[in-house]
Structure 1
């Protein structure tokens, strides 16, 4: 069974459903970035390009999604990086 906790789906045991696919709207809400910023993070020609940003999965001809586990790992790496800079 799943429940909402701090804006992300978790199992009753407290673990994230890492294989769950999330769409752009949920990704935007989860990481607090706009649609255009997310696409900039994926675009090597953008000033805001982030090579560590998780690659999307193609779900159909015009649909993409991201694995929640990849997003959570990316967030954790950002937190670790920011902690190491501030120390």
Structure 2
């Protein structure tokens, strides 16, 4: 199916296929893999999420959580707090 949007016969936009940085997304997925392996709280979050959804979606959710944590760490200049991330 074509993703082209038109209004009054004029082209208004296309799909959102180039959204995000694929290399940064890969890096956060790798971080999520290590986090599941070495952190008990992250593993609990992952297992709970994977029971409700697809395991790949659960890993992406954990990667998203880590990316938000990195943003706030850089913005505020604070140390990483695992308890705050998984409360």
- Normalized against structure 1, the TM-score is what? 0.37
- Normalized against structure 2, the TM-score is what? 0.37
| Structure number with bigger Rg | 2
Higher relative contact order (CA 8 A, sep 6+): 1
